[in-house]
Structure 1
C-alpha cells in the first residue's frame, strides 16, 4: 500500500537532521579550532604532538569545548531568521529579514559590551540576549564590532557588486562564519545567497566578503536539497559568476576544488589556500577540508590544524559536513563536550520547525 505521508515524514526527519547537523557541526569545528587560533602550525604540533590537535583541547583558561564569536553570531543569525519567518510566513526571507537579522546582531553586540543581561536588555522578544553564557568576548572581529555600531540595514533589493557603505574595504571572515543559517530556511539557493550577501554588508562592505557569505549560504541550500559537497560548490560557483566583482571568491573556491582533486591532504596543502583571516580563504579552507577527507572527524581536524583562523575554518567545515550528512554523522563524543550543545541543538530545532518545507501529503 502506497503511503506517501511516510516518505514525507522521512524527508522531514532528514531536513531536521541536516539543520541540526549544520549548526552543531559549526559549533564543534569552532570548539576544535578556538584553542589553537592564532597559533602557527609549528606551535600546534609542538604543543599537541606531530599530528597536531587530535580532538578537543583546553583553551588558555583550561576549559574544553568553548565556542567563539563564530558560533555566537551564527546563533544570533538563526534567531533573526526565525523572527523573520514568523513575521513573513512562507516569505520568511522578505523585506523584513535584513532588519530583523540586523536587530539580532545588535543584540549580539550587547553581549560583547555588557557583563550580563539586565531588565533594559531583553531584546524585542527576549531570546538569546537574555542568556548569561553568551556574555563572553571570544576574540570578536573588529569589523563586526565597528560595523554594527553604524546601524546599517541593507535594502532587500539593493544591487550586489559595488562596495557597501560600512567598512567598504573589509572582507574579513566575520561575514562568512555566521552565514550558514541563511541556507537552512528552505529558500532557493539564489534567495539564500542574496540575503546572506546583503546581511553581510551590515558589517563588511568589500564584495569578496559578502560574496563569500552568499556562496556559503548557497552551498548549504544545495546540500539540504541532496547535492554532494562538490556538486553544491559547483552550483554556487555558477551563481557567483552572475555578479560583478566575484572573481576573488570564485578563484578561492576553484583553488579548493583543484587542491582536493590532488588527494593526499595535508596541513601544508591547507596553508596553500591561505590562513583564513579573510572571507574567501576561510571558505576555501572549509570546502577543501570537507572534500579532502572521507571521515567527518578527520576533515574537522584537518580544518583546524594550520597556521591561522582555525576556529572559523573549523566552523565552516562543520557547517558544510553537518548540512551534508546530518547530526548523526558528527562525532558524538566530541559533540557532548561542546559548550551549551543542548541549547545550540534546540535553537537549530526551532529553525527547522519554523522553516520546515510543507507538503500537502503530510498528515494534519
Structure 2
C-alpha cells in the first residue's frame, strides 16, 4: 500500500541514521575478504571499531554534507552545487581518512579554482551512490530529485555509470519511503525509465538482482555469482546491484539487511551505508536497533547533531524556505579525524597478524 504523505521527519532522519549505523558497523570489515572477516573480527552483530563503539566514515559525512547543502539551496540545484562544492573543499582540508581517489582529486581541483561543473573526474566509483539515498528520502518531486542526484554525482564523478548507480539508490530510498510493501519490479521499471538505454548494463545487473531475490538466493550467493566472492568492490556496477539485493531481501528488517551485506566483504562500510540509508528511509529511526544507534561514538557529528540535521532538512523542504543547517566546529573535526586515523592505522596493522 502506498503512503501518500508529505516528506516526513522519520524518512529523512531514518535515512541519515541508517547510513551512519551501516557505515559504522561495516567500517572494521572494509577491505577484508568475506572468508577472513569472521575469523579476524567475528560476526557483524556489534561495533568492532573501537572499544565496542562505532565511528562513521566518508559515507555518512558526505550524506551530511549533501543534507546541509539541500537545506541552504531551498530547491535551487545550482545553489546546491555551489554549497556542496564549498563543503567538499573544507571537508578535504580536514584530512579525512579513506577518501576515494576521484573525490580527493575533485576536492583538490576545487581548491585550485575549478567550478562545480568542471571539478569531477572520469570515474565509476561508488562515491555518488554512497550519498544518494538522502535524495530519495527527501524529495517527492521525481524530476527535481533526479536533478539533484545528477548534480551531486557530476561534482566528483563524470562517468555516467556513477550517476546511474546513484539514481538507482535514490529511487530505492524513495520507493522504500513511499511503499509499505516493496514492489521490486515497480522500482526496477522506474530505474529503467530513468536511465534509459545508456544504462542498460546496470539495469540488466539489477534485473538479475531482482530475479535472484525472487528465488530466495542469499545476497552472498548473488555476490559470488557476480564474481565477487572475495568481496564487493568500489566499482559502482558491483556495489549497487549487491546492495539492492540486500535491500530487496530484507526491505523492512534493518538488522538482517545490513548484516548480510557486510558479510559479503570488500567495501563493507560503503555497501552497508547504502543499504542502511535505503532501509532506514522506509523504517525510520524506530526501525533501527536502538543499541546500534546508541553505540555510535562521534563528535562533533554526533547522533543528536545528525537528528537535528535531518529535522532541519525536513522542515526546510516542507516549508519551502531556506534555513541554517547545524554547524560543526572545524577544530573539533580536525582533532576527531586525527584520532580516527590512529584507530584506522591500528586496524591496518592488526590485519598483518593471524588469523589469515
**TM-score bin, normalised by smaller chain:** 0.7 to 0.9
**1:217-228 pair list within 5 angstroms:** 217-226=170-179, 228=181
Equivalent residue number for residue 278 of structure 1: 235
Take 2:283 and 2:92, find their aligned partners in 1: how far apart are those partners?
Answer: 32
1:149 to 70, 93, 108: 108
Residue 281 (structure 1) shift: 2.0
Equivalent residue number for residue 338 of structure 1: 296
1:288 to 245, 250, 268: 245
Matched position secondary structure for 1:41: coil
Equivalent residue number for residue 38 of structure 2: 45
1:354 aligns with 2:316: yes
Q: TM-score, normalised by structure 2?
A: 0.78
1:318 to 271, 276, 299: 276
Take 2:68 and 2:135, find their aligned partners in 1: how far apart are those partners?
Answer: 11
1:25 to 18, 41, 45: 18
Matched position secondary structure for 2:151: helix
Take 1:283 and 1:254, find their aligned partners in 2: how far apart are those partners?
Answer: 12
Equivalent residue number for residue 66 of structure 2: 77
Residue 183 (structure 1) shift: 2.2
Take 2:101 and 2:27, find their aligned partners in 1: how far apart are those partners?
Answer: 17
1:56 to 38, 43, 47: 47
Take 1:108 and 1:237, find their aligned partners in 2: how far apart are those partners?
Answer: 31
CA offset digits 1:183-231 (Å, max 9, x no partner): 2333422321232123211111111011111222233233333364444
Take 2:138 and 2:106, find their aligned partners in 1: how far apart are those partners?
Answer: 25
Contact 1:53 1:301 in 2 (8 A): yes
Take 2:241 and 2:81, find their aligned partners in 1: how far apart are those partners?
Answer: 26
Contact 1:80 1:97 in 2 (8 A): yes
Contact 2:246 2:275 in 1 (8 A): yes
Equivalent residue number for residue 191 of structure 2: 237
Residue 82 (structure 1) shift: 0.7
Contact 2:129 2:169 in 1 (8 A): yes
Equivalent residue number for residue 173 of structure 1: 126
* Structure 1 spans left out of the alignment, 5+ residues: 1-7, 86-91, 113-136, 156-163, 359-364
Equivalent residue number for residue 92 of structure 2: 109
Shift of the 229–283 alpha-carbon distance from structure 1 to 2, 3 Å rule, reads farther
2:255 to 284, 294, 297: 297
Matched position secondary structure for 2:8: helix
* Structure 2 spans left out of the alignment, 5+ residues: 321-356
Take 2:16 and 2:90, find their aligned partners in 1: how far apart are those partners?
Answer: 19
Equivalent residue number for residue 34 of structure 1: 27
Contact 1:30 1:314 in 2 (8 A): yes
CA offset digits 1:117-141 (Å, max 9, x no partner): xxxxxxxxxxxxxxxxxxxx23111
- Corresponding residue pairs, total: 305
Contact 2:71 2:312 in 1 (8 A): yes
Equivalent residue number for residue 197 of structure 1: 150
